Chain A
Amino acid sequence: MKRRHRRIAFVVFALCSLSIATALILNAFNKNLVFYFTPSQVAAKEAPVSRDFRLGGMVVAGSVRRDADGLTTRFVVTDNALAIPVVYRGILPDLFKEGRGCVAQGKIGADGTFYAEQVLAKHDENYMPPGTM
């Protein structure tokens, strides 16, 4: 009888900890989802205002400008329908080029500029960001 009670206690304990773990995992998961938007979706105000998201498109040829500090880069990202200006401070990845695809992560400012914290380049040179026409 005692062994059986212990077994039940063990199972109940295991189930409780598993459900707590599941709840915590799903909560952390929900908080850290980063959504992807095209410039057209951002222009149509579909993107969240206060939350990080990813913006993907082509870097418009001739749009890349560097500030005097040598680190801040300004460029325009387009899906060939609409375009969004992007500002990024830091060193750009090797695959970042005008006329090529690019995905940036950051927030949209009140001025309509996208302030990127990260520019991603985990793909090869033939990559086309989704949603680019």
Chain B
Amino acid sequence: MPSPATIGQFTLIAALLLAAFQAILPILRKSSWLPIAIPIARWQFIAVAIAFFSLVYSFVDNDFSVLNVASNSNSQLPLNYRIAASWGSHEGSLLLWTLMLAFWTAAVSRYTRHLAIATVARVLGVMGFISVGFLLFMLTASNPFTRLIPAPLDGRDLNPLLQDPGMVFHPPMLYMGYVGFSVAFAFAVAALIQGRLDAAWARWSRPWTLIAWAFLTCGIAMGSYWSYYVQGWGGWWFWDPVENASFMPWLVGTALIHSLAVTEKRGAFKSWTVLLAIAAFSLSLLGTFLVRSGVLTSVHAFATDPKRGIFILGFLGIVIGGSLTLYAWRAKQVGLGSPFDIVSRESLLLSNNVLLAVAAASVLLGTMYPLVIDALDLGKLSVGPPYFNTIFVAVMAPAMFLIGVGPIARWKKASIPELVRRLRWAFAVSVIGALVIPFYVDWKPLVSLGLLFAIWIAATCALSLFERLKGAGHQSLLSKMKSMPRGYYGMHVAHLGVAVLIVGVAVVTGYELEKDLRMDPGDIVSIAGYDFQFKGVSDVSGPNYVAVRADMNVFQNGILILKMHPEKRLYNVSGNVLTNAAIDTGVFRDLYAALGEPAGPNGGWSFRIQYKPFVDWIWAGAFLMAAGGVLALTDRRYISTTRKPLEVREAA
């Protein structure tokens, strides 16, 4: 019986051959062969899945003859983290990426039976080509199954930061999103090759883009929450290049969702939609490259292993350059689509698209500029968070305003006086609310601005729903509500998610309190009406670490309301120290206590105590947005497209 690592190695090679065949099949000009693309896509998925589970098994089984296992795991590591360690390393995460790609490819082969086989084969061919790139890279430069002979007795352990439930869910979610954009990309490239893009193309792409976007939204939110409670000492977003890498495809993906809606409903700005589909996936590739190549720690990380760097850069060049060249060549044939007025829902959505694209471009500038400068040996620098904050507030403010107007405005031609008349109450409510509510705490301009947009979005959602219900004849309210499409509800749920997120960001930024201080046993510190009393520390031990645990009582108005136990852990194998903060989560506030270091002669320790009002609204908002995306996905018209065969015009 060969070892799992050997099986994994062989199935990776098999997957490469299948993917290569899948990629060249549409070019072979043998139309009778095209239907094979579908079983090949599925076999490729099975092959990659076997390889992936062989790697997981090697980790679970503590097979330290595999270099990857020896470097990233340890026999003391709990089972769930041994599984998660499979995608903790560079090699393993690439395999996870490829598994996701194979999964999406198989899903495309399953849910496109209503399309002409030539179209399906082309879409699968594009995805097969991307898969070839990743499999080839793994087999030549970054093999997850490389052997280590003789095998060490035990492994070097997983980085403690990664030993967290966040690590189990965050990367798979994020990758589902990243790689999910490959479907929209493949549809776009296939359509460009075919030279025909119509409303049907947008309708096919929409559900795939929505689901990928929902996954990416969840993945980013989970990453943010993870950094909040583990790495970030209470911060939830740092504009770190790793975060930006996932945020750029999200911004462009968000633009793409809106643009696809216009292309499907009105046939307008097709070329722009295609460009966004290409950009979203290109940024996903770039993000993977940035995070996984080590280029962020130092651009010279590549100098130690130039094969990897050149391969990835070459592959990025072929995919991005190739698709953009194809776009430049064929965009004329795609056409601009039906005309619309300067004031119309189309133009409002286009403005929102431009704003999202500008935001993505400025994040790209701030992320890539330091890398380029460093690579050219012109010096070392970084771009401070104030840059991103300033740009983001400035660019997103008009976009937040447009969220309110867009769903109300008519397609093709809207009138400004009419919009003003319909929106005046929503506008009055949001202005008054934004000016008055912050006075209950402390009036701050940014909090007020945030509330303005949040109330504006909520009020216009309510208005849109009200107008629809009023206008739809004499049915009962319930049947009217039932008859409205799920896509409509999905849109409003997602927009309300934005409102909830804005409230969270504005309130926590405006009113959070933080104290770094030394406390001796018995000391009490007050913050936002809560009294934290430090009782003392004790030693505890976990499965693969020993820890110092502080004992804290929290009082409110003299009554003990909770006990908190922040820890400082020392991991046995790696010798790394990790702070494990204690967090009490609430709807309107989080209390956050982190243990620093021993300080002073009386058994004192340094602490960071924080009061974080409304911080959980940030992630709640993000999950609402994702839920809106999923709700829209269940819209009847997507479900019917997968069941009923559509009239598909095929290029002769």
A interface, CB within 8 angstroms of B: 3, 6, 9-10, 14, 18, 21, 24-25, 28-29, 31-36, 52, 54, 66, 68-71, 89-92, 94-95, 122-125, 127, 130-131
Contacts and interface: CB of A to CB of B under 8 A. Distances in A.
Contacts of B29: none
A68 B366 CA distance: 40
A130 B579 CA distance: 27
B406 to A, nearest CB: 17
Interface stretch (B98-106, B379-387, B493-501, B537-545): B379-387
B395 interface: yes
B599 A34 contact: no
7 contacts: A3-B339, A10-B347, A18-B358, A34-B381, A54-B382, A70-B599, A91-B597
B346 to A, nearest CB: 12
Q: What range describes how many residues of B lie at the interface?
A: 35 or more
B584 interface: no
B582 to A, nearest CB: 15
Nearest to B519: A70
A10 B380 CA distance: 41
Contact of B297 (A68, A91, A95, A123): A123
A3 B395 CA distance: 29
Contacts of B578: 94
A71 to B, nearest CB: 6
B467 interface: no
Interface of B: 159, 231, 233, 240, 297-298, 300, 339, 341-342, 347, 354, 358, 362, 365-366, 369, 379-387, 390-391, 394-395, 516-518, 574, 576-579, 594, 596-597, 599-600, 604-608
A92 B382 contact: no
A17 B227 CA distance: 36
Counting from the closest, the 5 A-B pairs by CB-CB distance are A70-B599, A70-B518, A36-B380, A32-B387, A32-B384
B594 A91 contact: yes
A94 B576 contact: yes
Contact of B159 (A9, A18, A68, A124): A124
Given A66-B599, A122-B240, A130-B298, A33 B518 contact: no
B516 A90 contact: yes
B365 A29 contact: yes
Contacts of A130: 298, 300, 380
Contact of A70 (B342, B383, B390, B606): B606
B387 A31 contact: yes
B604 A70 contact: yes
A35 B380 CA distance: 6
Nearest to B518: A70
A43 B379 CA distance: 17
A92 B577 contact: no
Nearest to B395: A21
Given A25-B365, A94-B577, A122-B240, A71 B517 contact: yes
Contacts of B605: 70
Nearest to B380: A36
A111 to B, nearest CB: 24
B608 A6 contact: no
A92 B339 CA distance: 59
Contacts of A25: 358, 362, 365, 391
A21 B359 CA distance: 10
Contacts, number: 101
Q: Which of A9, A21, A52 has the most CB of B within 10 A?
A: A21
Q: Which of B382, B517, B578, B604 has the most CB of A within 10 A?
A: B382
A125 B606 CA distance: 23
Contacts of A21: 358, 395
Nearest to B373: A33
Nearest to A7: B342
Nearest to A67: B599
A54 B370 CA distance: 13
Nearest to B341: A6
A10 B390 CA distance: 27
Nearest to B596: A91
Contacts of A29: 362, 365-366, 369, 383, 387
A45 to B, nearest CB: 16
A15 B347 CA distance: 15
Contacts of A6: 341-342
Nearest to A13: B342
Contact of A34 (B159, B342, B383): B383
A28 B339 CA distance: 37
Nearest to A24: B394
B383 A10 contact: no
A34 B606 CA distance: 29
B380 to A, nearest CB: 4
A121 to B, nearest CB: 9
Contacts of A70: 517-518, 597, 599-600, 604-606
Contact of B383 (A9, A32, A122): A32
A9 B342 contact: yes
Nearest to A6: B342
Given A91-B233, A91-B608, A127 B596 contact: no
Contacts of A94: 576-579
A89 B387 CA distance: 25
A131 B381 CA distance: 13
Contacts of B574: 125
B384 A33 contact: yes
A24 B599 CA distance: 46
A35 B379 contact: yes
Contacts of B394: 24
B383 A125 contact: no
Given A25-B362, A122-B240, A127 B382 contact: no
Contact of B387 (A28, A35, A68, A127): A28
A57 B272 CA distance: 47
B518 A28 contact: no
A9 B343 CA distance: 12
Contacts of B607: 91
Nearest to A56: B380
B387 A71 contact: no
A26 B456 CA distance: 30
Given A31-B386, A69-B599, A91-B608, 12 more contacts: A29-B362, A33-B383, A66-B597, A70-B600, A71-B596, A91-B516, A91-B597, A91-B607, A94-B576, A94-B577, A122-B231, A125-B576
B384 to A, nearest CB: 4
B297 A33 contact: no
Contacts of B597: 66, 70, 91-92
Contacts of B395: 21
A89 B383 CA distance: 23
A18 B358 CA distance: 9
Contact of A14 (B231, B354, B594): B354
